[in-house]
Amino acid sequence: MLTLIIVFGVLLVLGILYFIFRIGNLVSLVKGKNEEESSSANAVNAYLFLLFMIVGLVAFFWYSFAHFDGYNLPVASEHGEVTDYLFWVTMAVSVVAFTLIFIVMFWFTFKYRYEKDRKAAFFADNHKLEIVWTVVPAVVLALLIFSGLRAWDDITDEASKDAVVVEVIGQQFLWTARYPGKDNLLGKHNYKMIDASNEFGLDLSEENTWDDFKSLELHLPKGKEIKLVIRAKDVLHSVFLPHFRVKMDAVPGMHTTFKFIVTKSTADMRAETGNPNFNYEMACAEICGRGHFSMRFPVFVHDSVEDYENWLKSQETWLKQNPDYLKRIPAEKREAAIVKSGIPADSKEAIQNAAVTVTLN
Amino acid sequence: MATIDIHPQTSTHHHDDHAHEHEHHGNFWTNYVFSEDHKVIAKQFLITGMAWALIGGVLSVLFRLQLGFPDADLSWLKPILGGWLTPEGKIDPEFYLALVTMHGTIMVFFVLTAGLSGTFSNFLIPLQIGARDMASGFMNMLSYWFFFLSSVIMFVSLFLSTGPASGGWVIYPPLSALPQAMQGSGLGMTLWLVAMAIFIASSLLGSINYISTVINMRTQGMSFTRLPLTIWAFFFTAIIGILSFPVLFAAALLLIFDRSFGTSFYLSDIYIGGEALPNQGGSPILFQHLFWFLGHPEVYIVLLPALGITSEIIATNSRKPIFGYKAMVGSMLFIAILSFVVWAHHMFVTGMNPFLGSIFTLLTLIIAVPSAVKIFNYVTTLWKGNIRFTSAMLFSIGLVSFFLTGGITGIFLGNSAVDIQLHDTYFVVAHFHLVMGSASFFGMVAGVYHWFPKMFGRMMDERLGYVHFWFTFLGVYLVFFPMHYIGIAGFPRRYYSWTNFETFSGFADLNMLVSVAAIFTLFAQFIFLFNFIYSIFRGKAAPANPWESNTLEWTTPRNPGHGNWPGEIPTVYRWPYDYSKPGAKEDFIPQHIPYSETPESNLPHENELIKLELNNGSINGENKTHH
């Protein structure tokens, strides 16, 4: 309905404009166009530019300060504080440059509007001036680049050996996370082994897979380095953790990684924002199809590494949840798999089942 | 060059400019449809480009309706959208992506590449360098008709039951390669690829023509250093196009192989629709490299012509020489070269080797320097000018404003560390829509206002031009400026709705404002459309040189025929920016006026050139074409 009103409003305006236009045309035909008229139109445009410059700048500064909390996303990672700092330094530099040029430009358009008796200056070049405004931006940019590159190098550096490893897998249109279990090693996977239950494509002949577990929520510790290992099953996706300033594409056929340290737990953030329902979220930032906009993945940051480890302990391994897959494991390794995956030793049933299948084979 | 002097003798006895229609005894088809006259081809490009701009604009308003008014009932759009509306009267999420994709494709390629370069390179190169036509009129005609064919195919794809291509204008595989990933990757994507392949052929035919014309067909005295900046810009643009479009062609070809012939250039380890695909060993990142090897130069293919056009318009209407002619040419050359080595700044977080990220950050921020130089030169050209706000001048100033506003955010995005957070958010959308989209669009509109008198022999209405400018200028800022805030808050682009996320729950107000402004801006374009059509038929007759400009096109008759000048092509004696020269009677001295006629305003070194003028009518023997 609102749209309809807008459409009609604009049509009405257009209709009115047409009549003004026709009448204006006829009047100017009768009067003949004179110098005065065109110079007054010229002045109107010059004043409008001046007005635009002032109102535009005021609106820009007012909104930027008044609504700062509305668009400034709280930051909760170590490197995020660095990149945010860089962002705001760049912002300061560019706002100063922008404002100056903006004012000067529209001041010139106003000040030097057409006057009949004035002649413009014949000012074709000035090497000093040109060298200055080539060198100054070059130096400023160089400074920004080098601080940026240093940060970039740190961020993209190898994760340390004892980093918490979590695998995040994107698919149309949801995320899953795989944790490496007690051995802190992600087991091998092969996309050809994916089926309805084995959604990771775990290659169970490899022992590191046995204690891996799945989570439908990304759990992370506060204050410890985290290494996300990222992959996609079908098309491109992109891991986007806005509060942690983390973004990295998920690419089928390869692993990408991103390491970071979270500085605020979910509870910390609830206190900081005063929102008891605050939750971290992960989104998809690379177009992936119909449900691109709905790939929300809940994120929970534990208050301490101990909390996080307690949570890890409370999780069941994937193999324990899917004991049928024991039969995929070569018989001589099966006992070890049962132990590592935490399947209770007294539940012989599963083992027997598996053994039966093997004999049948 | 044994070339191209088209009908030099037929036109000599026509000084009456109404006679031009009878000059060539062609029929309607050869004069207006399959014409080889660069001016007619330019108009064909312009009108096709305007039609596409309208379609692209309407598509953007459709998806802005969804974003600005997520709860609105759009059932009234049923007659247009049909099955793409859900039963609740909302746009289907997949069709939303199709709209976004086609908006991007249409605007970047069909409007701002073909519509802009095609129109003004064709129209202005022969007229401003003093040539009778393009080096090859036939190839030029083919260039348009390839573009037309490509347009038809792309247009048809809009009406497929499975929808047009929907994977974003960058068509990243695997999404674009697998019909099971989304409907639009079926026949819609096939047609997209076919249309783009033909489009590239069209673009190459045009570019080859522009380059050879500029190199070989300049009139007596028109040395490279006397070329208007428009021509320099078109020249560089054509070179960039020739070097980069074939790479997109290769990328598209490999994608066609992956889609249709089972190869695995871009595909590996894919499990989709309950099935593991056999493809292994390919890399989606390879496609991104190939795509952006065109994609980034493409930005300058779009932007440079607009910058050239506005350089000319700003100098003319400030009644001042463009400040730093050589620096302007130099920075365009530098931009053209650098545009080939910055492509991977679109890929900082795609899994590309981070070391490459460092290199591309460095190269990217270097390109900011010549861009900054251009802005300073524009501003200095205004300084102490005597500025006439013609509609074209207003749009040119608008362009500089957008170029500044949108260009400065490039410093954030080009810095890989800062880009991590901003990549694929609305900050990027704001950045490129201002610096590339709106700036180039304004350059195109400015060009239409400025050269309309030469195209159609009539003036456009100035007051409507003012209204059009102010509505569009404010509208564009209201659309794109708020997006910076939305982007800083992290809102990802190509989202159908943000309500699934608490993090992105705000900004309903700004999004509504943006959508209203977009609708408003689209409707403001109808003022232009009306002015354009009305003025073709009923505009005031144009004087010979309405803007008192120095360039050669204004020495042609009011309605130049095929061959442009009825008699000899004028000889050029000076650069195109002798505005407000001290001592001169008028505030402009056109390029074809010899120094011997302007002793009162000549600079010392120019007086020495007079002798050479008297010898052979040319100061350097390098021009050899026309006899």
Range of the domain at A171: 164-314
Q: Which residues of B touch A44 (CB under 8 A)?
A: 466
Question: Are residue A178 and residue A134 in the same domain, yes or no?
Answer: no
Question: Are residue A209 and residue A289 in the same domain, yes or no?
Answer: yes
Question: Are residue A66 and residue A203 in the same domain, yes or no?
Answer: no
Please state which of the ranges A134-148, A226-240, A323-337 shows the lowest mean pLDDT. A323-337
pLDDT of res. A178: 95
Residue A62's contacts (CB-CB under 8 Å, 6 or more residues apart) are: none
Question: Are residue A204 and residue A288 in the same domain, yes or no?
Answer: yes
Question: Are residue A201 and residue A232 in the same domain, yes or no?
Answer: yes
A121 contact B CB<8A: yes
Residue A240 in domain: yes
Mutate to test the interface with A, among B225, B412, B415, B605 (most CBs of A within 10 A): B415
Determine which helix (DSSP H) or strand (DSSP E) holds B382, and give its type and residue range.
helix B354-382
Query: Does pLDDT of B369 surpass 70?
Result: yes
Q: Which residues of A touch B550 (CB under 8 A)?
A: none
Rounded to two decimals, what is the model's pTM? Answer: 0.92
CATH number of A277's domain: 2.60.40.420
Range of the domain at B250: 33-538
In this prediction, what percent of chain B has a pLDDT beyond 90?
Answer: 83
pLDDT of res. A25: 77
How far separated are the first and last CA of chain A, in Å rounded?
A: 68
Query: Does pLDDT of B612 surpass 90?
Result: no
Residue A145 and residue B327: Cβ atoms within 8 Å? no
Question: Are residue A170 and residue A138 in the same domain, yes or no?
Answer: no
Residue A93 in domain: yes
Residue A236 in domain: yes
Q: What is the mean pLDDT of residues B297-309?
A: 95
Tell which B residues from 561 to 620 touch A, by Cβ distance under 8 Å. Answer: 577, 579-582, 587
Question: Are residue A96 and residue A214 in the same domain, yes or no?
Answer: no
Q: Which residue does chain B place closest to A144, by CA atoms? A: B415
Question: Are residue A169 and residue A283 in the same domain, yes or no?
Answer: yes
Determine which helix (DSSP H) or strand (DSSP E) holds A225, and give its type and residue range.
strand A225-232
Q: Does residue B97 contact residue B184 with C-beta atoms inside 8 Å? A: yes
pLDDT of res. A117: 84
Q: Which residues of B touch A24 (CB under 8 A)?
A: 463
Q: Does residue B187 contact residue B591 with C-beta atoms inside 8 Å? A: no
Residue A235 and residue B76: Cβ atoms within 8 Å? no
Q: Does residue A280 contact residue A273 with C-beta atoms inside 8 Å? A: no
CATH number of B117's domain: 1.20.210.10
Q: What is the mean pLDDT of residues A51-59?
A: 96
> If you average pLDDT over every residue of chain B, what do you get?
91
Residue B557 in domain: no
Residue A41 and residue B361: Cβ atoms within 8 Å? no
Please state which of the ranges B4-18, B100-114, B338-352, B413-427 shows the lowest mean pLDDT. B4-18
Query: Does pLDDT of B19 surpass 60?
Result: no
- The 10s digit of each residue's pLDDT in A95-124 is 999 999 999 999 999 999 998 888 888 988
Residue B411 and residue A238: Cβ atoms within 8 Å? no
> Which residue, among B115, B49, B11, B147, has the nearest Cα to B557 in the 3D structure?
B11
Question: Are residue A298 and residue A228 in the same domain, yes or no?
Answer: yes
What Rg, from alpha-carbon coordinates, does chain A have?
Answer: 32
Residue B420 and residue A246: Cβ atoms within 8 Å? yes
- State how many domains chain A has: 2
Question: Are residue A223 and residue A256 in the same domain, yes or no?
Answer: yes
Residue B463 in domain: yes
DSSP string, A1-66: -HHHHHHHHHHHHHHHHHHHHHHHHHHHHHH---HHHHHHHHHHHHHHHHHHHHHHHHHHHHHHHH
Comparison of pLDDT for B605 and B286, the residue scoring more: B286
Residue B399's contacts (CB-CB under 8 Å, 6 or more residues apart) are: B306, B307, B310, B439, B442, B443, B446
Residue A145 and residue B372: Cβ atoms within 8 Å? no
Residue B113 in domain: yes
Residue B424 in domain: yes
| The pair of three-digit structure tokens given for residue B195, joined into one six-digit string | 């249309």
Mutate to test the interface with A, among B61, B169, B269 (most CBs of A within 10 A): B269
What ipTM describes this predicted complex? 0.91
In degrees and rounded to multiples of 5, residue A302 shows phi and psi of -75, 155
- State how many domains chain B has: 1
Residue A307 in domain: yes
- The 10s digit of each residue's pLDDT in B84-123 is 999 989 999 999 999 999 999 999 999 999 999 999 999 9
Comparison of pLDDT for B611 and B372, the residue scoring more: B372
Comparison of pLDDT for B9 and B315, the residue scoring more: B315
